[in-house]
Homo-oligomer: A and B are copies of this chain.
């Protein structure tokens, strides 16, 4: 069953393709009411769908925004995607969602993929600092691009992200105010902008409070629950006298809690744990996890708005960086230590 084309409709209606094109695109000024109606009926009857491909070839526009995220199974990202999606559809744009699967190669492949197809812009949540290969692709590409949840070293690139430094700084200070001084840090890969900022925030907070930095108190891991679980095991071996751990995301924190509990210890009595992101799980887990909230849905919306501005050319004066403020969500996973 061949797909119906504009030519088929034109034949059946005894008009030219130009006319069909006119009515299909609602540029009906200059089309007789009767022909218009006849064509519309045919369109309906044969379920004619204009090929966006052919159309894209001539118009070079597509109303499709590509979105690359690191990992769909971290609940943080679907929420971001929703924000982007909601804002985009409001403006008639569709999203192509690509899950980079925590792999630079996959991300690079998707960048190519999106470049070859006619997306009109890309929102890119790179999970690590971009490699030279990727940097090159981006530089050579003329596609509008906004980074979300990161801020690469590219002059003039558009970014929306959280003030990660402040976020972690505040969190560590909160821990310190609660009497903690031996504070562990569970980091993700440090070659990620966000993670690196968080790490710096941790360091700075310790420093500002006159607490010595101890590398035995920091472990590095990947981002999933299982990774936090594993990392906690390692941290417990090196981190003597540790009374609290700050984790770089909620998933890791939850994994850490699992490990602690499995070892017969209690959170927060034996050790306090805090996370980052405020995903829904943090509310559900026992004890409820203290964490820092990112307005991720809104960040998504703003990123969408930003790229649409650029695409539609209203973006000459769009600011380069949009940075959001974090907020602490205090729950039950931190113990107050009396002095």
Interface residues of A (CB under 8 A from B): 1-3, 47, 49-54, 56-57, 72-73, 75, 78-79, 81-82, 85, 94-99, 101, 112-113, 115-118, 136-137, 140-142, 225, 254, 258, 280-281, 284-286
Contacts and interface: CB of A to CB of B under 8 A. Distances in A.
Minimum-distance CB pairs A-B, first 9 = A72-B78, A97-B97, A52-B116, A286-B286, A47-B140, A1-B142, A52-B117, A53-B118, A73-B78
A56 to B, nearest CB: 5
A69 to B, nearest CB: 10
A72 B67 CA distance: 14
A281 B286 CA distance: 12
Contacts of A118: 51-53
Nearest to A74: B78
A92 to B, nearest CB: 11
Contacts of A225: 280, 284
Given A73-B75, A95-B98, A281-B284, 17 more contacts: A1-B142, A47-B136, A49-B112, A50-B116, A51-B116, A52-B116, A54-B57, A57-B57, A73-B82, A75-B75, A82-B99, A82-B101, A85-B101, A96-B97, A254-B284, A281-B281, A284-B284
A67 B117 CA distance: 17
